[in-house]
Amino acid sequence: MIAPAVAWSMIAPIVIVLGAGVVSVLVEAFVPAKARRIVQLMLAVTAIAGAGIWAMVLAVSRAGTGESAFAGHLLIDPLALFVQVAVAASALVAVFVIADRTADGEDAFTPQAAAAPGSAAEDKARAAGLVQTEVFPLVLFATGGMLAFPAAGDLLTMFVALEVVSLPLYLLTGLARRRRLLSQEASFKYFILGAFASAFFLFGTAWVYGAAGTVNFTDLIYEVTGGDPRLDPLLYAGLAMVVVGLAFKVGAAPFHMWTPDVYQGAPTPVTGFMAACTKIAAFGALVRIVYTVVAPLQWDIGPALWTVTILTMIVGTTVALTQTDVVRMLAYSAIAHAGFVLTGVVSFSSLGISGALFYLFTYGLTTVGAFGVVTLVRARDAQGNIGGEARTLERWRGLGRTSPVLASAMTLFVLAFAGIPLTGGFVGKFAVFAAAFGADAAPLAIVGIACSAVAAFAYVRLIVAMFFAEPTELSAVGVKTEGLTGVAIAISAIATVVLGVWPTPVLDFADKAALLLP
């Protein structure tokens, strides 16, 4: 057996982040507790930013070459690089939100995850002021998985990446500082359903291997188009199961059930990270599979994908309307957005890919910002003590009076979600709907536009509560923090506007990523 040639420079972004994750574990072991948090933060920021910049440099310098690294197990082509840049950008901003603490040194995570909720051990840990800095290596591992996910060159690598993404996220979900039981329940639910989806993916992979004798995407194309027709049912069913596994990860209906509960239970900074980065990475993988392997079968699998897309948009928007919890509302809107991105994916054209990719890029940054705002909006008791997050719509009343800057930022984010012009959300919607219209998938675009109109109402309710209602005694207030979340919100807000006013560079980048797929 000859060792495969490894193009280290090509896979550097993945290696940097995963390597930083390993170093980060060592930091946990050897750096004194006092210095740990700052070291971890610097390490995470440097690694993710470095990976993002490296991927961008690769994309610029090697534009036009789709190279395989690691003997075809990883494909570092413009699609992978675009998704890596998008993941790194959102993850970087998300890390700021994750790392932030309130003025009295309280972060979003439980001091000791192993302690049973409400137990004496937990009180003791809180009193001792323990900090769970293990969050950072977990985030780094998850991010590393996300960078590898869209670059996978075969189904098994993709499965490994999927697990590397998921396992740290299951843990992170259970680490919320407040409402521990809800958080642990969410973690458990996410784990069970996630394992279910992984099983689907793996089982599908096995069927595909059984039918085609390979799991490599490049080889699979030949099998799909010209393989033994008697084995086609096995192959198609296997591919369908793989797609189901990914649809779970992107939160498409009817595989979306976990989303609201997990988003609600997880620590909000983690929710932001998950909602943005996991979605980008999983869509990157979905695009790769759909366009390399499934595209020749679009007439067979197309109707199923259309159904999923339409269902996702309708379920997401209509259920978002009825939510009274801001996080759950954002969770359902995230489902709806998965539907909009799918509109681009399902249109089977390079325009569709570039539209979907652009949508993910801008959606990711906006989402991190929106959840960042949620982390800062806190309940206040009668004595004026700041408590946990105030998530019910009732409590957001009058936020425009008490914290005008936070409320304005949130308004910008939800306007972007609603697709109002001059925000990145509008350009994204325009791009995916244009792709659908251009590819004879006009019904998808029309459903999408109708859903956008309905979804607008859900977002406007939040604006009404913030700006047109008087603050009450129960109303939330913006909490003072060390400022990292503020930085994250500012970056997200600027990105949301810039991508709406001057989207050309990112669109160009997405176009390149779309053209090079077979």
Give the residues lining the site for other proteins (CB under 8 A). Answer: 354, 415, 418, 420-422, 426-427, 430-431, 433-434, 437-438, 442, 445-446, 449-450, 452-453, 456-457, 460, 464, 467-469, 503-504, 507-508, 511
Question: How far apart are CB 342 and other proteins at their closest, in Å?
Answer: 17
What's the Rg (C-alpha) of the chain? 22
Pick 214 or 408: Cβ nearer other proteins: 408
Please state the closest distance from residue 453 (CB atom) to other proteins, in A. 5
Q: How far is the CB of 469 from other proteins (least distance, A)?
A: 8
Residues in contact with 450: Cβ distance below 8 Å, sequence separation at least 6, in sequence order: none
Which C-beta is closer to other proteins: that of 19 or that of 471?
A: 471
Residues contacting residue 472 through CB under 8 Å, at least 6 positions apart: 394, 397, 398
Q: Which tokens in the block code for residue 90?
A: 């959102």
Question: What is the helix (H) or strand (E) element at residue 477, kind and residue range?
Answer: strand 477-478
Nearer to other proteins, 231 or 460 (CB): 460
* Residue among 268 and 350 whose Cβ is closer to other proteins: 350
Sign of CA dihedral 135, 282, 18, 485: negative
Q: Are the C-beta atoms of 244 and 208 separated by less than 8 Å?
A: no
To other proteins, the closest distance from the beta carbon of 455 in angstroms equals 10
Residues 6+ apart with CB under 8 A from 207: 234, 235, 237, 238, 241
In the complex, least distance from residue 426 CB atom to other proteins, rounded to whole angstroms: 7
Query: Which residue number, 354 or 492, has a Cβ lying nearer to other proteins?
Result: 354
Task: Choose between 320 and 415: whose C-beta lies nearer to other proteins.
Answer: 415
**Of residues 326, 324, 417, 420, the one with CA closest to residue 373:** 326
CB-wise, 203 or 437, nearer to other proteins? 437
CB contact at 8 A, 97 and 109: no
In angstroms, what is the minimal distance from the CB of 286 to other proteins? 23
Give 311 or 451: the residue with its C-beta nearer to other proteins.
Answer: 451
3-state secondary structure 234-302: HHHHHHHHHHHHHHHHHCCCCCCCHHHHHHHHCCHHHHHHHHHHHHHHHHHHHHHHHHHHHHHHHHHHH
173 near 183, Cβ under 8 Å? Answer: yes
Cβ proximity to other proteins: between 205 and 343 the closer is 343
Q: Which helix (H) or strand (E) holds 473?
A: none
Nearest 10 degrees: Cα torsion 149, 151, 157, 163: -10
**Min dist. Cβ of residue 403 to other proteins (A):** 15
- Residue 52 beta carbon to other proteins: minimum distance, rounded to whole angstroms: 23
CB 359, min distance to other proteins, A: 13
Strands (E), 317-393: 377-380, 386-389
Structure tokens at 46: 């440097």
